[in-house]
Amino acid sequence: MKGMVLKKVLIGLALLALAACGSPAKNEPAGSTVEFKHAMGTTAIPAAPKRVVVLDTDKVDTALSLGIKPVGAARAGELTGWPTYFGADATKDIKEVGTVQEPNLEAIAALKPDLILGSKIRQEKFYAELNKIAPTVYTENIGKPWKENFLLDGAALGKGEQAKSLLDAYQKRASGLKVNKSLKVSLVRFMPDHIRVYGPESFSGIVLGDAGVQRTQFQKLESQQDKRFAKVSPERISDVDGDFIFVAAYGEKAAAEQTRITAGPLWTSLSAVKAGKVQIVPDETWMTGIGVTAANKILDDLEKYLA
């Protein structure tokens, strides 16, 4: 009789989790699973995963923000190592399992994960093989839906309520941030082979919007359907000007290009540069973090430089 009651309770909790877009119920017995809805369908996943592999930078931030150290993680192509903004102990012993574009399936299997987190836009072609290794959950996209992704991944990790609490705290902090909101801010990122400005639908652009920070007219990207970013040639560097410019660089090659271009006459003639209103910021928080802890680090910088 007790066994039948327990079985009914577990079924009810699993159905509740599915109805809540894949939010596992609390206090699941060890070894139990829940049916979890995500970008690739519905998958039975552990209610309390212990060995998690993550295949994008946002999911590194998510797991660590929720107190879970992944056993393995894929890295962004131009980066080495793991985010430094969590501290060395938080990322110690995480094994590299390829890149976000090309995860190493053998390395992943060797870690014996009980859950894999990835994204459809990055790793759709690997899904069937990954799902044979361990239950695999995908978000649809990256960047623009970072908040939705954080909640979904948090729920898959069995930390749905904690994820919601962290996101609510971020939103409250951002909306009340004390910064100079009259400034029109420019976001510039140096890539190995080109320059980008970031618009209102990029991760960092969304954070700035949440804080009520204005953007330059050009960086509103009103003529573009994709409002994440636009490329700017070195000859058109004047397009990146603003009242204040935040600058990041993606990897060592990009940093070298940043040094070369910012030493040139077109850059040094920008009004923000002449006024001393330029700040180099960490790419790992402003661009590749794409999670709630990275977002709070951006708010720290806004408070520091736009007060």
Structure confidence by residue, pLDDT tens digits, 73-95: 999 877 777 999 999 999 999 99
Structure confidence by residue, pLDDT tens digits, 39-82: 999 999 999 999 999 999 999 999 999 999 999 999 987 777 79
H or E element at residue 249: strand 244-249
pLDDT tier at 30 (50, 70, 90 boundaries)? low
C-alpha span between 160 and 156 (Å, rounded): 7
C-alpha span between 20 and 161 (Å, rounded): 12
pLDDT at 254 (0 to 100): 95
pTM above 0.85, yes or no: yes
Q: For 7-25, what is the mean pLDDT?
A: 39
pLDDT tier at 29 (50, 70, 90 boundaries)? low
Helices (H) and strands (E) in the chain, counts: 14, 13
DSSP-derived pairing of the beta strands 72-75 and 95-99: parallel
SS3 string of 52-92? Answer: EEECCHHHHHHHHHCCCCCCEEEECCCCCCCCHHHCHHHHC
Is the model's pLDDT at 139 over the cut of 90? Answer: yes
The per-residue pLDDT of the chain, averaged, comes to 90
Q: Which residue has the higher pLDDT, 76 or 24?
A: 76
Q: Which domains does the chain have, with CATH numbers?
A: 2-172 (3.40.50.1980), 178-305 (3.40.50.1980)
pLDDT at 28 (0 to 100): 55
Q: Is 100 helix (H, G, I), strand (E, B) or coil?
A: coil
